[in-house]
Amino acid sequence: MTSQIPTRAVHAGEERSKPYGALTTPIVQTSTYTFQDTAEIMDFMRSKAAGGIARRVDYGRYGNPTQSAVERKVAALEGGDRALLFASGMCAITTTLSTFLSCGDHQILVRDVYHRTRDFAVNFLNRWGIETTFVPVDNPDAMAAAIRPTTRVIFSETPTNPYLSIMDLARMAEIAQAHGLTTVVDSTFATPINLRPLEYGVDLVVHSATKYLGGHNDLLAGTVVGSNHLLAQIEEARGVLGGVASPHDAYLLLRGLKTLEVRVRRQNENAQLLAEFLEKHPAVYRVYYPGLPSHPQYELARGQMSGFGGVVSFEVDGDMDRTSRFVDLLRIPYIGPTLGGVESVVQQPATLFSLDPDERRQAGLKDNLVRYAVGIEDPEDLIEDLRQALDGI
């Protein structure tokens, strides 16, 4: 098999010869797996007792052939030993953190982490006796200073949501390895097309596969990628906690992954053009995009990423109401909370986060901030749509 990413996206992880001579991997829609006789059961049990990766399963909570094909493909794309599929990105995150943290432990999270990841740390893990320190994503020294004797995990996103800050992954891994800590990176915004954190020494990579990996806004799933040793521990927790993806969602994800490279490359190109246009428009106060030289971590992003992603965040020159008028004037993107699909989706994060201004300020969300998740439409159409909306306010 070639090492090139586009070929891996199409072929990796799937058997060449499939049931019934089918070209596509089928949906194995079953919850229970049967045995021919007692001898087959005993072989299965001996295989489980010996450890390692099981050749088969007995119940759908522990695996599915369609799911396994997705896991092998994602592992090939990220360069990991194994991947695990979950019912959602948050399920992947919560199961992973629950695996490596116990009562009395401490973890470090970047301050700009996705708000539901923050919620899990503050409202659930804290209740279970696990403490969290939040540090700036662009300050490795603060991360190193936050380490305690009880620290077990460092968790980051890159780029972050919604301000698209960049973590120095090599420095993060260096700090963690010096203290024997497990590193986890949410790479949903980057995708393995633009960034592969394992290559920088990161231990585990998580994705909301609902987003770019699926690419069509029609499924919920999450993945974790890493070494056999770490994934075996997470797999054990997944079997107990039960956060498995359905066979049908696994099939949709497998289909979406085949076009991941071509979709993400187009979204990278579109986002770069939109960011450059927005930075020059007088009705835009500031643009956040790591592909712009004005981004404070532009050089880091250039050295670490092969593409800058399909999300552009920017501040409209005005208040919350003026920003809302701009969003409402857009004709092509849908208004919604998601990203990563072939359709462009826009949101004013303040309106979806909270009606309380104090809560928005505490979360660092400016009222005039817009997050534009760029699809694969024609870039000239998208730019002209932005122009008419900005000119209309």
Question: pLDDT, tens digit, for every residue of 210-222?
Answer: 999 999 999 999 9
Q: Are 357 and 320 in contact (CB under 8 A)?
A: no
pTM: 0.94
Q: Is 212 a catalytic residue?
A: no
Give the pLDDT confidence score for residue 357 in this predicted structure.
84
DSSP strand pairing (106-110 vs 151-157): parallel
pLDDT digits (tens, 9 = 90+) for 170-218: 999 999 999 999 999 999 999 999 999 999 999 999 999 999 999 999 9
Lowest-confidence range among 72-76, 91-95, 306-310, 363-367?
363-367
At residue 263, the 3 state secondary structure works out as: helix
Which of the residues 186, 203, 249, 385 is marked catalytic? 186
Give the pLDDT confidence score for residue 52 in this predicted structure.
59
DSSP strand pairing (345-347 vs 369-373): antiparallel
Every domain range in the chain assigned CATH 3.90.1150.10: 260-391
Which of the residues 61, 171, 255, 387 is marked catalytic? 61
Q: Is 58 a catalytic residue?
A: no
Structure tokens at 144: 């190193």
Look at residue 334 and tell me whether its pLDDT is greater than 70: yes
DSSP strand pairing (106-110 vs 131-135): parallel
Which of the residues 114, 200, 288, 289 is marked catalytic? 114
d(C-alpha 298, C-alpha 166), whole Å: 9
Q: Is 211 a catalytic residue?
A: yes
Q: Is 366 a catalytic residue?
A: no
pLDDT digits (tens, 9 = 90+) for 41-75: 999 998 888 875 667 889 989 989 999 999 999 99
**Any idea of the CA torsion for 114, 169, 124, 161, to the nearest 10 degrees?**
0
Q: Which CATH class is domain 5-28+64-257?
A: alpha beta
Which of the residues 73, 82, 152, 211 is marked catalytic? 211
Q: Are 263 and 342 in contact (CB under 8 A)?
A: yes
Averaged pLDDT score across all residues of the chain: 95
Look at residue 100 and tell me whether its pLDDT is greater than 50: yes
d(C-alpha 26, C-alpha 196), whole Å: 29
Give the pLDDT confidence score for residue 1 in this predicted structure.
44
Percent of the chain with pLDDT over 90: 89
Look at residue 363 and tell me whether its pLDDT is greater than 80: no
Query: CATH number for the 260-391 domain, one of 3.30.70.890, 3.90.1150.10, 1.10.10.60, 3.40.109.10?
Result: 3.90.1150.10
Every domain range in the chain assigned CATH 3.40.640.10: 5-28+64-257
Look at residue 3 and tell me whether its pLDDT is greater than 80: no
Lowest-confidence range among 16-30, 245-259, 322-336?
16-30
What are the DSSP calls for 26-69, one per residue?
PP---SB---SSHHHHHHHHHHHHT-S--S--SBGGG--HHHHH
